Amino acid sequence: MLLALAGVAATSISPCLGEDTDAPAPLRVAVKQFEPFVYAESPALRGFSIDLWNEIARRLEVRTQFVVCETLKELIDMAEQGQVDAALAGVTITADRERRVDFSHPYYRSGLRIGVPLRSGPTMFATVSRFASADLLAMIGMLAGLAVVAAHLLWFIERTENPECFPHDYLAGVGEALWWSVATIITGGCENKAPVRLLGRMVAVAWMLGSIVLVAAFTATLSSQMTAETVAGAIVGPDSLPGRPVATVEDTQAEKDLQDMRATVHGYRDLAAAIAGVAAGKADAVVYDAPVLAHEIKENPRSPVRLVGPVFEHQDYGIALPPGSPHRKAINQALLTLGENGTLAELNVRWFGEKE
């Protein structure tokens, strides 16, 4: 639950003001652990979003009391209910959240990124799932359907003059004809059964030639999918995610985006747990905010995942404010000033090594 620590508040007072008992009450700002935007576990809060807020507070000439939350849901709830004056970490601006809280201008352009296991080979689940792909199922269905059609044609033609091979009884006759059709696909013929009528033999020849083409197409489709997975891995980008088990942090925009993409989402309490789930084989990939996932992998030389694919589902981070907040205009003016005077660019270089 919520952690509102006096020690945290004391270390977060803006240094630009002295100890004035007549000074207005500090602004309460909710934050949560979200590296490298917020490092909330150290004695003094730090991170991109903390530095950004301190710059805003200097321009607003206000003191700050940081309130540390455990989850993003708590952070949004506190802003919505007016328990804090602002809330930030890496809060994505969305239509649903805009209905609950007010947002500042965006201050960081982000998106989602995919992390996959370090091992180069496909997982057992990914390999088996290839046999259930839409292309292969369609090909198998076509083969089965044509085999049934060929069996019925052959039985109907041969049942009167060739009852030994294709009995006149429907179930027995079609069953023997279907056996002949399947054997022809697999072995190229059926030694103990053969049509005797000219029309029956014409159907048999057409089926033999057609089955060669169909089997070749089926083999090519299977080979291409298995080869692609062996070379590139099970997941190479956002197009690979639908239907896959994917780990992310629960109650986040990433979770919602993955559900919209029809991925099989496994929600975890935090990013470390999500990555551990991938390492344990419970998911094929982890998907989360690009800068945070990249930072987690960079800071952990033994990380069991690596980044693949581009940034996708681009999103903007903003400062969440209570509805009708009197501070919104001043905060937006401060953000615009920080962008114009190069401070935002300097913060990007300091925390991410490059300008946005």
Residue range 344-354, pLDDT digits in tens: 999 998 888 76
Place of tokens 């925009």: 253
Asked, for residue 1, whether it belongs to a domain, the answer is no
Higher pLDDT, 62 or 23: 62
Which one of 205, 232, 259 terminates a domain?
A: 232
Radius of gyration of the chain (CA): 32
| pTM of the model as a whole | 0.60
Asked, for residue 278, whether it belongs to a domain, the answer is yes
User: pLDDT by residue (tens digit) across 69-83?
Assistant: 988 999 999 999 999
How many angstroms separate the CA atoms of 213 and 26, rounded? 77
On whether both 134 and 228 belong to a single domain, the answer is yes
pLDDT score at 208: 79
On whether both 333 and 307 belong to a single domain, the answer is no
On whether both 225 and 241 belong to a single domain, the answer is no
On whether both 137 and 193 belong to a single domain, the answer is yes
pLDDT score at 262: 94
Indicate the angle between helix axes 198-232 and 134-158, nearest 10 degrees. 170
Asked, for residue 248, whether it belongs to a domain, the answer is yes
Check whether 10 has a pLDDT greater than 90. no
On whether both 71 and 11 belong to a single domain, the answer is yes
Give 249-299 as a DSSP string.
Answer: ETTSHHHHHHHHTT-EEEEESSHHHHHHHHHTTS-SEEEEEHHHHHHHHHH
Asked, for residue 155, whether it belongs to a domain, the answer is yes
- The domain that holds 187 is classified in CATH as 1.10.287.70
On whether both 307 and 324 belong to a single domain, the answer is no
- Domain total of the chain: 3
Q: In angstroms, how far apart are the furthest CA atoms of the chain?
A: 111
- Give the three-state DSSP class for 70: coil
On whether both 343 and 252 belong to a single domain, the answer is no
On whether both 259 and 305 belong to a single domain, the answer is yes
User: pLDDT by residue (tens digit) across 189-198?
Assistant: 665 777 878 8
Check whether 7 has a pLDDT greater than 50. no
On whether both 239 and 227 belong to a single domain, the answer is no
Place of tokens 């803006």: 14
Asked, for residue 89, whether it belongs to a domain, the answer is yes
On whether both 149 and 184 belong to a single domain, the answer is yes
Nearest alpha-carbon partner for 48 in 289, 323, 322: 289
- The domain that holds 78 is classified in CATH as 3.40.190.10
pLDDT score at 12: 43
How many angstroms separate the CA atoms of 108 and 344, rounded? 9
Give 208-220 as a DSSP string.
Answer: HHHHHHHHHHHHH
On whether both 196 and 278 belong to a single domain, the answer is no
Q: How far is CA 191 from CA 146, 165, 185, 188, 317, in A?
A: 21, 11, 13, 10, 71
Residue-number span of the structural domain to which 299 is assigned: 115-120+235-313
On whether both 18 and 31 belong to a single domain, the answer is yes
pLDDT score at 279: 92
CB-based contacts of 293, cutoff 8 Å, min separation 6: 113, 115, 271, 286, 287, 307
